[in-house]
Amino acid sequence: MTVVVTTSPGFGKHGKVPALIEEAGWEFIRCVDAAEVAANIGRADFLVVGLVPVTGETLQGADKLKAVIKHGVGVDNIDIPACTAKGLPVCNTPAANADAVAELAVGLMFSMARFIPQGHASVTSGGWERRIGSQLGGKTLGIVGLGNIGKRLAKLALGLGMQVVASDMYPDEAFAAANGIRFLSLEELLAQSDYVSLHVFGGKDNAALINRDSLGLMKPGAKLINLARGEVVDLDAVAESLASGHLGGVAIDAYVQEPPAINHPVFSHPNAVFTPHSGADTLEALENVGLMVIEDIKTLIGGGMPARCLNAKNI
């Protein structure tokens, strides 16, 4: 059996996953871009998807393919209707990397609050610039998208003594009530938060969710974290808001183009922190995701339908 894997470098390499794959005897073909996927899709029994888009064109010639499985949560880069039309189940791995992403969000808040990247750069360049930061305790964190990741982040933030508000299309009122979280409109959340952390899906519905107008609603000096998708944030607007001093800082992990074009002015601002779409990159999360992918492949091989299938009712 052949598994084609796109840009998910950690899949199959951590924890119990390698032994399970060896035991199963599966052949792996790792592809770094759409051209390599197209060249190998005809051999694939299963397609494990990272960040390379899966479109109707991708699926042309996929005569052996039995399912498309996302190595992660967000499926905005998978054309689910096109998969459904070919009778292909689409699965993902919800919550498998939620802790990893939430912990990075906290790390990025600390990085901005205490100027950690700037302090590192100062010391390693022979300087000794001590900057006065601020504590997270007592500050308000606004979480846009209170799903699995948002909920993990909320609990971490509450443990640090932060106040938490949230915005969500499908609010979990029971979770919010149990944890003292208030649901607000996006506009209200932006106006009240010292830190805003984005955890929504990408796609056209959330394109430029954070733009000039929404940035203008934020408190002067507030800080923004994007661990969602690149298109959720208008980078031009962010650069302008940083330059004016209205936005106090930004931390970005996801980009429209990856790697991004670093000639954009946002990348030269001293109050901006960047990571290479690594929110889910921990040993524990990669093992969790890998185990879920293997479980779903084995279920499908056995003639079953994984509980995590997103289009089971339509195929």
Active site residue 27: no
Judge whether 253 and 224 are in contact, CB under 8 Å.
no
Output helix, strand, coil percentages for the chain, rounded to the nearest 5: 40, 15, 45
Following CA atoms 44, 47, 50, 56 in sequence, which dihedral angle do they give, to the nearest 10 degrees? Answer: 100
Active site residue 277: yes
Active site residue 231: no
Q: 199, 229, 231, 308: which is the annotated catalytic residue?
A: 229
Helix (H) or strand (E) holding 142: strand 140-144
Q: How far is the C-alpha of 48 from the C-alpha of 40, rounded, in Å?
A: 13
- Locate tokens 């509450």: which residue? 158
Q: 22, 27, 187, 258: which is the annotated catalytic residue?
A: 258
Q: 14, 152, 277, 308: which is the annotated catalytic residue?
A: 277
Q: How far is the C-alpha of 219 from the C-alpha of 190, rounded, in Å?
A: 7
CA 18 to chain centroid, in Å, comes to 24
Judge whether 224 and 210 are in contact, CB under 8 Å.
yes
Q: For residue 91, give the nearest of 55, 46, 51 by alpha carbon.
A: 46
DSSP secondary structure string, 60-75? TT--S--EEEESSS--
Q: For residue 110, give the nearest of 60, 162, 65, 145 by alpha carbon.
A: 162
List active site positions: 229, 258, 277
